[in-house]
Amino acid sequence: MDKVTSDLMICYYRLSSEDGDVARGNVAESFSISAQRLCVQNFLASRPDLEGTVEEIVDDGYTGTNMNRPGMQRLLSLVKSGSVKTVIVRDLSRFSRNFLEGGHYLEFVFPAYGVRFISINDHFDSADYGESTGGLELGITNLLNQLYSRDLSRKIKSVTDRKKLNGEYAFGAVPYGYQKGEQKNTIVIDPPAADVVRQIFQWASQGISITQIAQRLNASGTETPSSYLAKVRGRYKVRKFWTYESVRNILQNRIYTGDTEAFKSHVVKVGSNRTKILPEAERPIIPHTHEPIVSRELYFLARSTVQKTAPKTPTGNTPSLLQPYLVCGCCGNRLVKGKASNKNWRCASARYVPESGCAEVCISDADLQAILIRAINMQCRLRDARLETYHRQFESHASKRRAINARMQRVQAEIHRRQEELMSLYEEHVGGQLSKESFTEKRESLLLAQNEKKRQLAQLESDWELLSAEEETAKKEEQQTSALSPYHEISVLDPILMRELVCEVLVFSGQKIQINWKFQDFTSEFVEQSS
């Protein structure tokens, strides 16, 4: 770790739905970004001893139950680069509501990088605790914040559920074909998109298959839902082509009849990202909540017709080991096995837009598995080599720490001794035993010697911090790659291994592969051409 050379002070502000609905003006002023900023500015004005370059980082609309926020990630990146001297927040709940995760950064990460942390309303300043960050007192505060966040989340969910059952639109993003109404929690028809939706239902009711509908839409140049919504609303990941899934999702969405399915899924646990899909028969239906795009008769006719024309899954066909992870490197769509051969993976979009570059994306299942096996074995070997290097370093760290500690004690003793000599010198001067010239000369000599010892002490402290940072880095790396520990020189893939190690596999034309791992990539990027 590099020694902190910057005087950067980060003022961090956060506001989320946990604190109220920002857009609707229901936020308590005490939680608002402006109120947090004013509090911090007043604090800095009262503390002239806090000098440095001030930078503000804001997370507006992000939960405090985890650290996965753009602003927080930027803050942590600056901290780890050695650029930050001080972090200031209004209170601990703005930094984090997660007891364990927030405590980890405050107790270990910030001290390791020499970062001072100040929480104004909690009257907490890490400089008051030396090497510690407050221990039990800080932990209790963080725990109370976490419990408060969970209780608030439950209350917000209860209010949202009640709005849904009352026929209000409280589902977040508005579906393709509709747009937000002027009245709160309402939706109205978006004419251009609604015309496309009606056409899809008409085609489906006439017995045209979902794949054929997608092909017609692509041939006519009809904008995909994501492309259209990105143009009119922004912040959408654009899909270039209509696919089976994009058409099917429209045909299965009852919202186009003017009815609302109140709960299609529910969160398994408050604070968790895991959801459970409810069976269609168990979903509460709230009728006549908004203007329909298609009639109920057309909706059910289209669905029943599509079900009759849908391709049948061969008996005994089991899900592929690789399919959940395969993505087209050209368009981002999923890969499927072709009808002619059950051995080759192709981009699903190639069926809908044959002339696209996706038609060149093709690789055999056997080649893919061979590449993955080689890649996993390579990652294991590189990881073992890296950890072995760290372990050899750690063996010498103990003796280095003892040597540094002994030198620090000697230097501190020298500093203390020279301080006593300065006091004695001053007393002799005051008592008339030393002339002013002699006092000044001896004093300057002692100060120079003392400053040199202080410089040596600062260097020793820096060396100690560097050793600690190296050990912390190695421990984190080992923890991050713990999923690799059970695997060495594997010869076959299995579902557990894939689920633990692989995030996605991008397949490009020319049989080129890029594997995105769930752990630190020791090769940064693995691109290999199958033989």
> Domain coordinates of the chain in residue numbers?
8-162, 178-309, 387-484
| pLDDT at residue 311, rounded to an integer | 58
Q: Is the pLDDT of residue 213 over 90?
A: yes
319 pLDDT tier (thresholds 50, 70, 90): low
Greatest pairwise CA separation for the chain in angstroms: 114
d(CA 177, CA 192): 8
| pLDDT at residue 267, rounded to an integer | 52
CATH class assigned to 8-162: alpha beta
* pLDDT 10s digits, 123-151: 788 887 664 545 445 554 554 455 455 55
Mean of the pLDDT values across residues 353-366?
81
Q: What percent of the chain has pLDDT over 90?
A: 17
The four Cα atoms 101, 111, 83, 146 give a dihedral, to 10 degrees, of 20
What tokens does 50 get? Answer: 């806090």
| pLDDT at residue 97, rounded to an integer | 66
Q: What's the CATH superfamily of 178-309?
A: Putative Large Serine Recombinase; Chain B, Domain 2 (3.90.1750.20)
Range among 145-159, 283-297, 464-478 with highest mean pLDDT value: 283-297
Domain 8-162 and domain 178-309 have a common topology: no
What does DSSP say about strands 512-517 and 335-337: parallel, antiparallel, or unpaired?
Answer: unpaired
d(CA 394, CA 396): 5
Q: Is the pLDDT of residue 8 over 60?
A: yes
| pLDDT at residue 169, rounded to an integer | 67
Rounded to 5°, the CA angle 384-389-394 comes to 120
d(CA 197, CA 258): 13
Strand-pairing partners, residue 344, are 364
* pLDDT 10s digits, 253-294: 888 998 887 655 555 454 445 556 666 666 667 788 889 999
Q: Is the pLDDT of residue 180 over 70?
A: yes
| pLDDT at residue 264, rounded to an integer | 59
388 pLDDT tier (thresholds 50, 70, 90): confident
| pLDDT at residue 12, rounded to an integer | 94
φ, ψ for residue 308, nearest 5 deg: -70, -35
3-state secondary structure 420-455: HHHHHHHHHHHCCCCCHHHHHHHHHHHHHHHHHHHH
More confident residue, 236 or 116: 116
How many other C-beta atoms are found inside a 10 Å radius of the C-beta of residue 5? 9
pTM above 0.75, yes or no: no
More confident residue, 24 or 429: 429
More confident residue, 159 or 35: 35
d(CA 416, CA 340): 85
Mean of the pLDDT values across residues 429-436?
84
Q: How far is CA 231 from the centre of its chain?
A: 26
More confident residue, 310 or 59: 59
| pLDDT at residue 425, rounded to an integer | 84
527 pLDDT tier (thresholds 50, 70, 90): very low
Contact present, 345 and 507 (Cβ < 8 Å): yes
Q: Is the pLDDT of residue 442 over 50?
A: yes
| pLDDT at residue 219, rounded to an integer | 86
Mean of the pLDDT values across residues 299-304?
91
The average confidence (pLDDT) of the chain is 78
| pLDDT at residue 163, rounded to an integer | 60
| pLDDT at residue 268, rounded to an integer | 46
How many other C-beta atoms are found inside a 10 Å radius of the C-beta of residue 471? 16
Q: What b-and-e string marks burial along 34-55, b requiring 16 or more CB atoms within 10 Å of the CB?
A: ebbeebbeebbeeeeebeeebe
3-state secondary structure 220-277: CCCCCHHHHHHHHCCCCCCCCCCCHHHHHHHHCCHHHHCCEECCCEEECCCCCCCEEE
Residues 6 or more apart whose CB falls under 8 angstroms from that of 372 comprise 322, 493, 502, 505, 515
Q: Is the pLDDT of residue 434 over 60?
A: yes
Mean of the pLDDT values across residues 416-441?
86
In 3D, which of 367, 364, 335, 332 has the Cα closest to residue 351?
335
Strand-pairing partners, residue 59, are 14
Mean of the pLDDT values across residues 453-482?
79
Sheet with 335-337: strands ordered across: 335-337, 344-347, 362-364
Least confident of 41-45, 165-169, 285-289, 415-419: 165-169
Mean of the pLDDT values across residues 235-242?
76
Mean of the pLDDT values across residues 437-443?
87
| pLDDT at residue 531, rounded to an integer | 39
Alpha-helical segments (H) within 362-435: 365-430
Contact present, 201 and 294 (Cβ < 8 Å): yes
Mean of the pLDDT values across residues 302-322?
66
| pLDDT at residue 2, rounded to an integer | 41
